Amino acid sequence: MKSNNIIERYIYAISRQLPVKSREDTARELRTLIADMLAERGAEQEPSEEDIRAVLTELGRPDELAQKYLPAQRNCLIGQPHFRIYKLVLKIVLAATLFGLSVALMVELVSAPTENLLVRLGEWVLRLFSGGLQAFAYVTLIFALFYHYDVKLDEEKDFLSELPELPERAPKSSAAENIIGLIFTVLFALAFVVLPETNIPVWFEERGFIPLLNPEFLRSMRPLLLASLAVGALNDITMLAERKNSVPALLTQLLDAVLSGALAWAFFSSANLFSSQFVQAFHAPEVAGLFDPSLPLNHSWLGKLLLGLTLFGLAVGSISAIVKTIRAVSEKSA
Amino acid sequence: MQSKEALLAGFVTEMRRGAIALAVLSRLSEPGYGYQLVRDLAVGGVPVEANTLYPLLRRLEEQALLRSDWDMREGKPRKYYQRTETGTEVYERWRAEWKQFSVSFNSLLEDNHEVK
């Protein structure tokens, strides 16, 4: 009784996965097959549990056997030819999402300036992450449905006209460009370190030359400025040593962009950027709405615009560098 | 990377997959049941496991190349399969293809052997 129970359970484990109309037929056929196999072992009348186990083991796992009865199924989430188009659409949607969110952040930054840049950057990264994740989920879901229901996406009637272009050889960055960049970085750093107070003299008729910038502010900016110069030099050296679009070159470039962004932020939002002499001497009512040295630069719309453009440029440059590096690295490994 | 044995096993499985249906069709000009076919094919040097053959018979039936009848006379109910008219036509043409293919292939493999 118990042995029969195993056979029936085995058959049920298979038949329940089959279409209703073929279940009974298949079950009956399998029952006879098992009986035939037991008979072959000379154990048809009183099969021992051992015999039954041997026969069922030979037939294999119920899931696998049931799978063989089912018509060839679409057994992955997204297969060809949909997968190829899925990858393309996913790249475009992700890039557009990240770009859109970054632009939105820039607009927010310039319209509602904050002193706490780090918190803003953290929020930005989080928003990019969750936005990217949502874009990924939606595109994947849509293409999984397309694949499952075999929605035709392209008939490829004329595939010859749609052959991909051969990838361009990534040009090596020009060595001269990097060497000149390096020299200027070093000179600038030396000037900043050697001269006690690097400053920009401005001529006023009644006061003579007075310093444009606040020495206190410059001093407080020194670590950031030096770090930025050091990273800039490091970037030039990496570009010289490695190929352009290598991962190390990208990392130094990104770090450079972050430091430059922080510097720009500090310059534009500091309330004491200009020297007190300059604030006192500057009287130009005709530009009061655009420029007032006693207020941070980003209080005027012009300052907001310049800061926004600077940060936006850095973000675009960084994203483009990331994309180029990913492409170069994946081509190299392909 | 896959081992040589795994690669070879994959190639052989791939090669046999389509051919087994031809072997099955060749045996079913007269009615026959599943387990009988398992034994016949094994004797003929083309061993096929029951868990491959039974689903294949079902599929060929769905494709209208085989038809089936239950024989309830003995103690065990048996499902007998036989080629349909379509099944016979497909089988004859497939067999011609196979013969042509095997001649070409044998000559190709022999040539290859000589070059070596």
Chain segment A256-287, per-residue pLDDT in tens: 888 888 888 888 888 888 887 778 777 766 66
Residue A197 has pLDDT above 70, yes or no: no
Q: Do B51 and A64 touch (CB under 8 A)?
A: yes
Instruction: Answer with the residue of higher pLDDT: A220 or A141.
Output: A141
Q: How far apart are CA A323 and CA A333, in angstroms?
A: 15
Residues of A in contact with B58 (CB under 8 A): 22, 26, 69
pLDDT score, position A167: 64
Q: Do A28 and B35 touch (CB under 8 A)?
A: no
Residue A156 has pLDDT above 70, yes or no: no
Closest residue to B34, CB basis, from A33, A64, A68? A33
Instruction: Provide mean pLDDT across the span A69-96.
Output: 83
Query: DSSP strand E in chain A: where?
Result: 201-204, 208-211
Residues of B in contact with A29 (CB under 8 A): 34, 54, 79
Residue A72 has pLDDT above 70, yes or no: no
Residue B78 has pLDDT above 60, yes or no: yes
Residue B107 has pLDDT above 70, yes or no: yes
Q: Which residue's entry shows tokens 């052959």?
A: A163
Q: Which residues of B touch A (CB under 8 A)?
A: 33-35, 49-52, 54-55, 58-59, 70, 76-79
Chain segment A94-131, per-residue pLDDT in tens: 988 888 888 887 777 777 766 677 777 788 888 889 98
B69: closest chain A residue by CA:
A25
Residue A196 has pLDDT above 50, yes or no: no
Q: Do B76 and A35 touch (CB under 8 A)?
A: yes
pLDDT score, position A172: 53
User: A262 to each of A167, A212, A255, A257, B110, how far by Cα in Å?
Assistant: 36, 21, 11, 9, 73
Is this prediction's pTM over 0.80? no
From the centroid of its chain, how far is CA A22? 49
* Structural contact between residues A48 and B93, judged by C-beta atoms closer than 8 angstroms: no
In angstroms, the separation between the Cα of residue A68 and the nearest Cα of chain B is: 6
pLDDT score, position A1: 46
Label residue B45 left, alpha or beta by phi (over 0 means left) and psi (-120 to 50 means alpha). Answer: left
pLDDT score, position A324: 83
Chain segment B36-67, per-residue pLDDT in tens: 999 999 999 999 999 999 999 999 999 999 99
User: A237 to each of A172, A181, A232, B56, how far by Cα in Å?
Assistant: 14, 10, 9, 66
Q: Which of A102, A170, A113, A177 is nearest to A331 (CA)?
A: A170
ipTM of the complex: 0.85
With bands split at pLDDT 50, 70 and 90, how would you rate the model's confidence at B75?
confident
pLDDT score, position A55: 92
With bands split at pLDDT 50, 70 and 90, how would you rate the model's confidence at A192?
low
Closest residue to A29, CB basis, from B49, B51, B54? B54
A65: closest chain B residue by CA:
B51
With bands split at pLDDT 50, 70 and 90, how would you rate the model's confidence at A33?
very high
* Structural contact between residues A221 and A160, judged by C-beta atoms closer than 8 angstroms: no
pLDDT score, position A289: 66
From the centroid of its chain, how far is CA B65? 13
Per the prediction, chain A carries an average pLDDT of 80
Of these ranges, A14-23, A99-108, A172-181, B87-96, the one predicted with the greatest mean pLDDT is B87-96
Label residue A209 left, alpha or beta by phi (over 0 means left) and psi (-120 to 50 means alpha). Answer: beta
- Facing residues of B66 across strands? B83
With bands split at pLDDT 50, 70 and 90, how would you rate the model's confidence at B116?
very low
| Cβ neighbours of A104 (radius 10 Å) | 13
Q: How far apart are CA B83 and CA B71, in angstroms?
A: 17
Q: Which of A291, A302, A297 is nearest to A265 (CA)?
A: A297
pLDDT score, position A204: 74
Q: Which of B107, B63, B94, B96 is nearest to B81 (CA)?
A: B63
* Structural contact between residues A272 and A213, judged by C-beta atoms closer than 8 angstroms: no
In angstroms, the separation between the Cα of residue B8 and the nearest Cα of chain A is: 22
* Structural contact between residues A22 and B58, judged by C-beta atoms closer than 8 angstroms: yes
pLDDT score, position A303: 80
Instruction: Answer with the residue of higher pLDDT: A252 or A74.
Output: A252
Q: Which of B33, B35, B63, B71 to mutate to test the interface with A (most CBs of A within 10 A)?
A: B35
pLDDT score, position A159: 66
- Facing residues of A274 across strands? A213
Instruction: Answer with the residue of higher pLDDT: A252 or A120.
Output: A252
pLDDT score, position A10: 93
Instruction: Provide mean pLDDT across the span A129-144.
Output: 91
Instruction: Provide mean pLDDT across the span A204-217.
Output: 76
In angstroms, the separation between the Cα of residue B99 and the nearest Cα of chain A is: 28
pLDDT score, position B24: 96
Residue A2 has pLDDT above 60, yes or no: no
